[in-house]
């Protein structure tokens, strides 16, 4: 589970990691109430879970109440589903650093990552000048040793009091990583301010979903999802990913779905959403189709190869869903696997064409989209 920046920063505060003075607002009135406490210049930071907000225009600066109001209004109506904005005092920065704690899955170790050149271009830097990325391994059975934190601080080129502060921040990050069962805790950028102190400019905290049973402090409300369909799918326990293309996928099995996804792109089509119709969901056709219909797709493509998830049960469910929901767009089916003869019969009786070849089904879906687009 990925937390919002403001939540990560709330956690930071409890672990000796300084953050800029800031408050979260949801509308104009709240902005007006917090501005006197924040002052100018201030930074307006859209609280969305996607990265790269700076480059996407979702981080704005303001030097007056009028400017802040205008920018907040613009952010709240942006297509990125911005519901909260973190208003912060702008920090006068000298330069930007990078710090993170994550898992190295190959070595089964925790890894600290640091760089003296942080900021919005860290990915390009990591690709172009990997030697600038500093790494330090931590054995979970031993934990982070104080000398490791200090060593990392010195390797970042820091000295004196600020090196000491960096070591404390690294220690705090490592403690957060353990306490929150995190996959990643990141500060990018870590500001080096004009008065030689360190402040977390951004905050990222991803909690491992496998520990949600003990990490119960955060409820996944609507704002964590990019669409209503994605949110409702999560409530129903159905894996669902929202995309922005034309073909809604109701597929069984991650491998088959990935193949179908690739085939669609290969044929020049695009995917609107992926919904997992396999596993325990094979009996949930009505709910599954209801969710797919919430996504603005042009065609729904159902591709399955069921073993325990029986093809005839899925076909029956699809027929029931079509009768009940009366879809406003074409449905292409390729339902195969256990009892597929039976499935074929069920679909044919309903007047549905049941394809037996995945590639043919994909071609058909892509064709239908084109027909819809060009009449």
Site for ligand GDP in 192-251 (CB under 6 A): 201-202
Contacted entry of Mn ion, ligand GDP, none for residue 119, CB cut-off 5 to 8 Å set by kind? ligand GDP
Q: Is 47 in the site for Mn ion (CB under 5 A)?
A: no
In the bound state with ligand GDP, the residue whose beta carbon lies nearer, of 96 and 230, is 96
Handedness of CA 72, 73, 78, 82 (dihedral sign): positive
Contact between 220 and 212 under an 8 Å Cβ cutoff? The reply is: no
316 counts as binding ligand GDP under rule CB under 6 A:
no
Cβ contact 254:290 at 8 Å = no
Task: Single out the residue of 18, 22, 189, 248 in contact with ligand GDP (rule: CB under 6 A).
Answer: 189
Burial 255-276 (b: 16+ CB within 10 A, else e): ebbebbbebbeebebbbbbbbb
Say whether 10 is catalytic. no
Sign of CA dihedral 13, 22, 194, 72: positive
For 247, phi and psi rounded to 5 degrees? Answer: -105, 120
User: In the complex, what is the shortest distance from the CB of residue 181 to ligand GDP, in angstroms, rounded to a whole number?
Assistant: 23
Residues 43, 101, 112, 362: which binds ligand GDP (CB under 6 A)?
Answer: 43
Please say which residue, 44 or 319, places its beta carbon nearer to ligand GDP. Answer: 44
Treating both helix axes as pointing N-terminal to C-terminal, what angle do 28-38 and 65-76 enclose, rounded to 10 degrees?
140
The phi, psi pair for 299, rounded to 5°, reads -145, 145
Pairing of β 240-242 and β 198-200 = unpaired
| Residue with smaller CB distance to ligand GDP, 35 or 313 | 35
- The catalytic residue among 186, 276, 290, 316 is 186
Query: CA-to-CA distance for 105 and 174, rounded, in angstroms?
Result: 17
Active-site residue, selected from the candidate residues 5, 6, 98, 261: 98
Per CB under 6 A, 119 contacts ligand GDP: yes
* Unique residue bearing structure tokens 């767009």: 329
Q: Does 296 bind ligand GDP (CB under 6 A)?
A: no
Nearer to ligand GDP, 186 or 276 (CB): 186
- The smaller minimum CB distance to Mn ion, of residues 188 and 242, is found at 188
Residue 298 interaction partner, one of Mn ion, ligand GDP, none, beta carbon < 5-8 Å per kind: none
Is residue 274 among the annotated active site residues? no
Residues of span 145-204 touching Mn ion by CB under 5 A? 188, 202
Q: Is 57 in the site for ligand GDP (CB under 6 A)?
A: no
84 near ligand GDP, judged by CB under 6 A: no
Give the number of other Cβ atoms within 10 Å of residue 66's Cβ. Answer: 9
What is the chain's Cα-based Rg? Answer: 25
Give the interface with ligand GDP as residue ranges (CB under 6 A): 20, 43, 45, 51-54, 59, 90-91, 93, 96, 119-120, 188-189, 201-202
Residues involved in catalysis = 98, 186
């Amino acid at each position: 589970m990925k937390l919002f920046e403001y939540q990560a920063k709330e956690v930071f505060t409890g672990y000796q990691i300084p953050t800029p003075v800031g408050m979260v607002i949801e509308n104009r009135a709240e902005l007006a109430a917090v501005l006197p406490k924040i002052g100018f210049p201030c930074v307006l930071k859209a609280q969305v879970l996607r990265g790269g907000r700076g480059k996407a225009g979702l981080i704005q600066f303001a030097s007056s109440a009028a400017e802040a109001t205008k920018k907040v209004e613009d952010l709240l109506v942006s297509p990125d589903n911005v519901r909260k904005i973190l208003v912060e005092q702008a920090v006068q920065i000298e330069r930007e650093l990078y710090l993170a704690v994550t898992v190295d899955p190959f070595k089964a170790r925790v890894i600290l990552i640091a760089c003296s050149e942080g900021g919005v271009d860290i990915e390009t830097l990591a690709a172009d000048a990997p030697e600038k990325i500093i790494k330090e391994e931590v054995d979970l059975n031993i934990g982070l040793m104080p000398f490791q934190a200090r060593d990392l601080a010195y390797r970042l080129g820091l000295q004196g009091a600020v090196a000491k502060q960096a070591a404390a921040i690294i220690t705090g990050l490592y403690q957060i990583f353990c306490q929150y069962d995190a996959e990643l805790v990141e500060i990018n950028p870590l500001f080096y301010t004009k008065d030689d102190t360190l402040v977390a400019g951004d905050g990222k905290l991803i909690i491992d979903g496998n520990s949600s049973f003990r990490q119960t402090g955060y409820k996944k409300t609507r704002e964590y999802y990019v669409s209503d369909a994605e949110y409702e799918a999560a409530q129903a326990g159905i894996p669902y990913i929202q995309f922005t293309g034309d073909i809604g996928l109701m597929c069984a099995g991650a491998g088959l779905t990935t193949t179908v996804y690739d085939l669609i792109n290969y044929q020049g089509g695009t995917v609107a959403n992926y919904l997992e119709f396999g596993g325990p969901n094979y009996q949930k056709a009505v709910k599954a189709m209801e969710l797919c219909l919430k996504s603005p797709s042009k065609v729904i493509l159902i591709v399955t190869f069921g073993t325990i998830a029986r093809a005839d049960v899925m076909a029956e469910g699809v027929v029931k869903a079509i009768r009940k929901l009366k879809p406003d767009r074409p449905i292409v089916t390729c339902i195969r696997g256990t009892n597929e003869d039976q499935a074929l019969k069920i679909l044919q009786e309903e007047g549905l064409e049941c394809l037996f070849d995945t590639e043919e089904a994909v071609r058909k879906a892509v064709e239908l989209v084109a027909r819809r687009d060009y009449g």
